[in-house]
Amino acid sequence: MAQTTPDDTLALLTRLSQKPGVQSTLVLSRDTGAIVRTSGLTSNSISANPNSTQPSSSEDSTELLSNGAGRQATGIHSAEDVARLVYHFVGAAGSMIHELDESDEAKLVRVRTKKNELVIVPDAKFLLVVIHETPPA
Amino acid sequence: MQQRKDEILAKKAKLAELKRQREQRAKEFTASRQSIGDGSELVAPIPSRANNRADLDNLISSLVGDSRPSSAGPREPSSPAQRGSRPTSVVSAGQLSGDQSEIPSPGHEKSAPAPSLQTLSIAPLTTVYDFPASPKAEIITYSKGVQTSDVYEPQRARAKGFSDSEDDGAVSPSKSPRKKRLSRREKEREEELRQNLRREIEEELKAIQNHDVSAAETNGRANFPSRLLTNEELNAVTSSIDFQGFVDRSTKVIERALEQEYDILADYAVDGLGAVDDDELGASTGRRGRRVKEVAQFWDERWSKKRMISDLNFSPKFPELVLASYTKNPSAPHDPDGLIQVWNLHMHERPEYVFHAQSDILTARFSPFHPNFIIGGCYSGQVLLWDTRAKSAPVQKTPLTGSGHTHPIYSIDIVGTQNANNIISCSTDGVVCGWSVDMLSQPQEYLELQTPQPAKSEEMAPTCIAFPQSDPTYFLAGTEEGSIHPCHRYDRAGAKAGVDTRISYRGHAAPVMSLDFHPARGKIDLGDLVLSSSLDWSVKLWKARPPAAAAGSAAAGSAGAGGGPGGAGGGDGGGGVGAHVAAQPLMEIGREDLVYDARWSPVKPGVFALVDGAGALEIWDLTVEVEVPVAKTKPSARGTLGGGASSSNSSYMAQSLNKCSWEPHEGKRIAVGGLEGVVSVFEVGAELGGVEGTKQEEWAEVKKMVTRLDQVMGNGGGEHGR
């Protein structure tokens, strides 16, 4: 409610990305799938347009890139890959729900994997994805 | 289209039927043929034709007889020529039989003649396409079944082939050897066509699939260049209101999701050993039923810093929401002075809502009648109304004029019913105002409280007010000088609006910090019990005289009508209208520090909580012990919740707790807060809170104790009276 300036808004995202257990965050535009913000993800196109994927966290993007090889093993992917996959996945989930009930829509998608959890909040215009570690089960 | 589909379906069914019949026939035929001769060739029977003519006729009629009726229908329009040619072709039984062997397939294929077969092989592109999975025979069937060949004829490139084959077909019936060859050729051609068709269809399907894939790929990959937003676009997006609203909402959802401690995928069979024994934590603060356990701490780096908590209140509608009002942050002159944060027990790290005000908020609470409204009182004397659906600024506020408050409002309440309720605010200059939630521009009621005579000064400085559960027209006001006065909102029999001069509750020697009427939820009415806390290091328990009884005891002198034991005190000190009765507390509980707040548990009749200047939260249960608290604890230092080690590096002053508030429905949680600006929420054990554990006897016990104390007090009351 109080967050009316872009800085505050981005601070919210930054905080979210720095919460313990959170590996990466990703904000997509709902209609085109364009990446608005990411953190904790490497980007293929970072050189092409460094501003398209500013890491919200304090970590430097170049550091992310340099560690990219090592991070692949820890489940860090390229932002574009995640964006594409999630975007289509949410589209599929959305159409499923739409076909079940035309007046319905997806509000929250949580996907638990063996390694982590994706929490996806689809909204009218944007889509927020958070990948976080789950307690070892 | 639909019509055509139906047609096709009908035909398909018919064809299936025909096919079955054909198989039957074929079986019969072969059987009969074997019986007839060696059955090696269709031509073979020719010599025996004369002999077996009758047999053959029979056979034919038997074979054809049952198939004709069904096939006759469809055949009629398309194959009159065929029919016509048939008689000429019936040269020999062998031919007939050969024809017979041939006929089933044309018959089966819609019983159309060869020409139409060709036609059909042309049209298939569309038809077959609908049924790509059909077996070969079906495909043929289909191609022949299409009766729209005429329409398609001119459009097809194979029209020539069609005419050729038509010729063949036309001729074929007349010459059996040729027909045989033809049928073979035909079959080959058909096969070829079929293969061609299949190839075409497959290609088409492949193409479609490829297209899909490539489309998907263009969606996924080719889109990526276009997804690279420019700086300007990014800025535009991130500063759009849509985006901010979205981030606000979605991050809340995700934080709540992450906060969910319980792992729904937990497999207890796998990691049962690692589970923490929950009881260990409780053991440190007493028996299990009486434990008090800290479950949450709320602190926001941005907003909570250097602010003190001035009030706390749980939402009556959503038990997980608790609001905290804060004083100003002296080191941040550009931030709004007043602040309210609504915290969610499921989201520890940031407030659910933040509300602002121009002036320090000294008291605030949720409206019990509208879950979206929050009402606050300011140091400036304004009453503010926030709406959780709106922005952080108040949606309504009272003006800073003489018609309302001009002094700080330390106490506020909402009384009445769902449909008729008022905000009652009280400022330190003794002004009590009643407001309508719909209109804060002007008070509906205005009342000035004055200290009853004799007194040094008429002025009264109320620090807190409290309404009993049962009567919204009457309240108690605690003052800075330590006395507590009953006040009426309206003129009533025997008493004018304002301070009731006939009785006052005297016992505190320092400003009264809180007053709380018993919530009276049980069968026995304890609604007249009042708890007061004061800076004189004590908590006192009072029995509030009902306003009518107070009037009665004053008016009737020593009669003590209705007041019961209270009347005794009144009798001693009384003596006509205007006489002043100084009621004594039922019980005094001395503490080791300033007591800032004391609140009854909403569910347990004898339980109350208090917070003191030393930063301790104490839970008392009058049915168990009246000398010492049943539980005492301190909030752990900020950020160490769950870490275990509670360091006390903060200064003594910073630990002081100002306010406490029970969760009103279950009474299991209590929020405390103080100078440090941290809201701590504790959960109490089953003996101290929770609806299920309350026994009826407790109510009776409290009642008995009160009666006993009342009598003791009543007997000794004469000495202290006045």
Segment A21-44 shows an average pLDDT of 81
How many whole angstroms separate alpha carbon B163 and alpha carbon B159? Answer: 6
* Residue A1 falls inside a structural domain: no
Whole-angstrom CA distances from A21 to A16, A82, B247, B452 are: 10, 18, 19, 63
* Residue A69 falls inside a structural domain: yes
DSSP 8-state assignment for residue B288: G
- Cβ atoms of B142 and B110 closer than 8 Å: no
CA A67 to chain B, closest CA, distance in angstroms equals 23
| Contact check, Cβ <8 Å, B254/A119 | yes
Smallest Cβ–Cβ distance between B244 and the set A9, A51, A121 belongs to: A9
* Residue A51 falls inside a structural domain: yes
Smallest Cβ–Cβ distance between A126 and the set B235, B246, B349 belongs to: B246
Q: Percent of chain B at pLDDT above 90?
A: 19
Segment B398-406 shows an average pLDDT of 84
* Residue A73 falls inside a structural domain: yes
* Residue A20 falls inside a structural domain: yes
Indicate the pLDDT class of residue B583, thresholds 50, 70 and 90: confident
pLDDT attached to residue B681: 92
Residue labelled with tokens 């059987």: B31
- Cβ atoms of B118 and B106 closer than 8 Å: no
| Contact check, Cβ <8 Å, A51/B230 | yes
pLDDT digits (tens, 9 = 90+) for B658-669: 999 999 888 889
DSSP 8-state assignment for residue B329: -
- In three-state secondary structure terms, B625 is coil
How many whole angstroms separate alpha carbon B336 and alpha carbon B386? Answer: 15
Residue B460 pLDDT exceeds 70 = yes
Strands B581-583 and B503-505: parallel
Q: CA A66, A49, A52: angle at the middle one, nearest 5?
A: 90
In chain B, what are the domains?
288-547+579-637+651-717 (2.130.10.10)
pLDDT attached to residue B343: 93
**Single-letter amino acid code for the residue at B16:** A
| Contact check, Cβ <8 Å, B248/A12 | yes
Closest CA to B132 of B142, B123, B147, B122: B142
Burial B60-90 (b: 16+ CB within 10 A, else e): beebbeebeeebeebbeebbeebeebeeebe
Smallest Cβ–Cβ distance between B254 and the set A2, A45, A130 belongs to: A130
Report the interhelical angle of B114-122 vs B136-145 (nearest 10°).
100
pLDDT attached to residue B383: 92
Indicate the pLDDT class of residue B243, thresholds 50, 70 and 90: confident
How many structural domains does chain A have?
Answer: 1
* Residue A93 falls inside a structural domain: yes
How many whole angstroms separate alpha carbon B531 and alpha carbon B212? Answer: 75
- Cβ atoms of B553 and B561 closer than 8 Å: yes
Residue B288: CA count within 13 A, CB half-sphere: 4
Q: Return the sign of the alpha-carbon dihedral for residues A84, A90, A94, A100.
A: positive
Containing H/E element for B516?
strand B512-517
Which B positions 179-218 lie with beta carbon below 8 A of chain A?
Answer: 216
DSSP 8-state assignment for residue B452: P
Any CB–CB contact under 8 A between B262 and chain A? Answer: no
Residue A89 pLDDT exceeds 50 = yes
Burial B116-126 (b: 16+ CB within 10 A, else e): bbbbbbbbbee
| Contact check, Cβ <8 Å, A128/B250 | yes
Residue B137 pLDDT exceeds 90 = no
pLDDT attached to residue B680: 92
Residue A99 pLDDT exceeds 70 = yes
Comparing A59-68, B70-79, B187-196, B220-229, the range with the smallest average pLDDT is: A59-68
Residue labelled with tokens 């509300």: B355
CA B303 to chain A, closest CA, distance in angstroms equals 11
Residue labelled with tokens 């107070």: B550
Q: How many CB atoms lie within 10 A of CB B649?
A: 6
Torsion angle of the four alpha carbons B468, B470, B473, B477, in this order, in degrees rounded to the nearest 10: -10
Residue B476 pLDDT exceeds 80 = yes
Of B248-252, B284-288, B599-603, B717-721, which one has max mean pLDDT? Answer: B599-603
**ipTM greater than 0.85:** no
Smallest Cβ–Cβ distance between A34 and the set B229, B270, B303 belongs to: B229
Q: Percent of chain B at pLDDT above 70?
A: 64
How many whole angstroms separate alpha carbon B172 and alpha carbon B89? Answer: 9
Segment B511-540 shows an average pLDDT of 88
A121 to chain B: which residues are within 8 Å by CB? 249-250, 253-254
CA A1 to chain B, closest CA, distance in angstroms equals 5
Residue labelled with tokens 């709004």: B336
Indicate the pLDDT class of residue B122, thresholds 50, 70 and 90: low
Residue B62 pLDDT exceeds 80 = no
pLDDT attached to residue A132: 87
Residue labelled with tokens 């097809």: B156
Residue A70 pLDDT exceeds 50 = no
Q: Which residue has the higher pLDDT, B317 or B268?
A: B317
Residue labelled with tokens 């089953």: B686
* Residue A41 falls inside a structural domain: yes
Segment B502-526 shows an average pLDDT of 86
pLDDT attached to residue B423: 92
| Contact check, Cβ <8 Å, B246/A128 | yes
Average pLDDT of chain A is 73
Residue B263 pLDDT exceeds 50 = yes
pLDDT attached to residue B143: 59
How many whole angstroms separate alpha carbon B562 and alpha carbon B471? Answer: 18
Segment B170-182 shows an average pLDDT of 50
Residue A51 pLDDT exceeds 80 = no
pLDDT attached to residue B694: 67
* Residue A81 falls inside a structural domain: yes
DSSP string of B100-160, one letter each residue: HHHTHHHHHTTT--HHHHHHHHHTHHHHHHH-TTS-HHHHHHHHHH---HHHHGGG-TTHH
Closest CA to B399 of B376, B414, B413, B380: B380
Phi, psi of B377, deg, nearest 5: -115, 140
How many whole angstroms separate alpha carbon B397 and alpha carbon B385? Answer: 6
Residue from B217, B249, B250, B341 to probe the interface with A (highest A Cβ count within 10 Å)? B250
Comparing B461-475, B507-521, B695-709, the range with the smallest average pLDDT is: B695-709
Report the interhelical angle of B49-78 vs B93-102 (nearest 10°).
40
Greatest CA separation for chain A = 47
B263 to chain A: which residues are within 8 Å by CB? 134-135, 137
Residue B511 pLDDT exceeds 90 = yes
Smallest Cβ–Cβ distance between A121 and the set B254, B302, B390 belongs to: B254
Cβ neighbours of residue A111 under 8 Å, at least 6 residues apart?
A117, A118, A120
A10 to chain B: which residues are within 8 Å by CB? 238
B244 to chain A: which residues are within 8 Å by CB? 3-4, 6, 9
How many whole angstroms separate alpha carbon B504 and alpha carbon B496? Answer: 15
How many whole angstroms separate alpha carbon A110 and alpha carbon A120? Answer: 6
CA B233 to chain A, closest CA, distance in angstroms equals 9
Whole-angstrom CA distances from B449 to B210, B459, B480, B510 are: 86, 8, 13, 19
Indicate the pLDDT class of residue B326, thresholds 50, 70 and 90: very high
Average pLDDT of chain B is 73
| Contact check, Cβ <8 Å, B247/A27 | yes
Which B positions 224-243 lie with beta carbon below 8 A of chain A?
Answer: 224, 226-231, 234-235, 237-239, 242-243
pLDDT digits (tens, 9 = 90+) for B140-171: 665 555 555 454 444 444 444 444 444 444 44
Of A72-81, B107-116, B547-556, which one has max mean pLDDT? Answer: A72-81
Q: How many CB atoms lie within 10 A of CB B366?
A: 24
Greatest CA separation for chain B = 149
Q: Search chain B and give the residue with CA nearest A44.
A: B224
pLDDT digits (tens, 9 = 90+) for B346-369: 888 888 999 999 999 999 999 999
DSSP 8-state assignment for residue B328: -
B392 to chain A: which residues are within 8 Å by CB? 1-2, 4
Q: Which domain holds residue A50?
A: 6-133
Indicate the pLDDT class of residue B597, thresholds 50, 70 and 90: very high
Q: Using CB atoms within 10 A of its CB, is residue B707 exposed (0-12), middle (13-18) or buried (19+)?
A: middle
CATH number at residue A116: 3.30.450.30
For residue B361, the cross-strand partners are B378
Which B positions 266-295 lie with beta carbon below 8 A of chain A?
Answer: 266-267, 270-271
How many whole angstroms separate alpha carbon A4 and alpha carbon B336? Answer: 14
B243 to chain A: which residues are within 8 Å by CB? 9, 36, 125-126
pLDDT attached to residue B390: 87
CA-based R_g, chain B, Å: 48
- In three-state secondary structure terms, B543 is strand
For residue B313, the cross-strand partners are B323
